[in-house]
Every structure is written in structure tokens, then in C-alpha cells.
Amino acid sequence: METLLLLLFIFTLAAFLGFELISKVPSQLHTPLMSGSNAISGITIVGAMIATAHIGGEAAKWIGFGALVLATINVVGGYVVTDRMLGMFKKKDK
């Protein structure tokens, strides 16, 4: 139960931090910000890794494997897409 409370504590603090992080973002950055944070939400890849290696049965393993593939697509695709978009902005900064 104590671990649980600790996790809830972390969750609450992270929520407040998330609210504070974004304040005045120029509208041109809304899309990259959305897609960049979308890549971060692929953090579920960590959970998928643990689920895949689980020794809890064949079904769980395959479900975990599916999660792992999808989460990796989300992570890799998300970062590459965002980088490509931001690369466009960069070019004419010179």
C-alpha cells in the first residue's frame, strides 16, 4: 500500500509539472510539440518489454510482443517525424 501511495504521489507531481511546462508556445510549434510528446507517450515500450519477457504463459507473451512492436513504431516513428518537421524550420534560420 505504501508503494501505491508513493506512485500516486509521483503521478500527481508529474501532472502539475506537465501543466506548468507548456505555457506560451508559438503556434508554429504546436504540431512538433504534439508529435514530440506523442513519441514520449511511447514510453509504454518499457512496459511492453517487461510484458514480452514475462514467463506467464504463451498468450501473454504474444500480446506483449504486439504491444512492443506497436510501441516501438510509436517511439521511432514519432521521433523521426518530429525531427524531420523541425529540420524544416532549422533550414532557413541561417
Partner 1 sequence: MRDIAIQIAYIVSAGIFIMGIKMLGSATTARRGNRLSAIGMLLAVIITLFDQGIVSAGIQGYAWIAGGIALGALIGGILAKRVQMTGMPEMVALLNGFGGLASLLVAWAEYATLPALGLIPVSGEMRFTLVVSALTVIVGGITFTGSLVAYLKLSGKMSGRPFLFAGQKAINFVVMLVLAAATVALALALKDYSATAFYTLIGGAFLLGVLGVIPIGGGDMPVVISLLNSLSGVAASFAGFIIGNTVLIVAGCLVGASGLILTVIMCKAMNRTIGNVLFGGFGAAASGSGGAAEQGEMKAVSTEDAYYILEAARSVVVIPGYGMAVAQAQHVVKELGELLENNGAEIRYAIHPVAGRMPGHMNVLLAEADVPYEQLVEMDNINPIMPTVDVAIVIGANDVVNPAAATDPSSPIYGMPIINAHEAKTVFALKRGKGTGFSGLENKLFFMPNTRMIYGDAKATVADLVSQMKG
- Binding to partner 1, residues 46-85 (CB under 8 A): 46-57, 59-61, 63-85
Q: Give the nearest distance from C-beta 36 to partner 1 in angstroms.
A: 5
The sign of the torsion formed by the CA atoms of 52, 54, 55, 57 equals negative
Rounded Cα gap, residues 37 and 25, in angstroms: 14
* 26: contact with partner 1 by CB under 8 A: yes
Q: Give the nearest distance from C-beta 2 to partner 1 in angstroms.
A: 10
* 5: contact with partner 1 by CB under 8 A: no
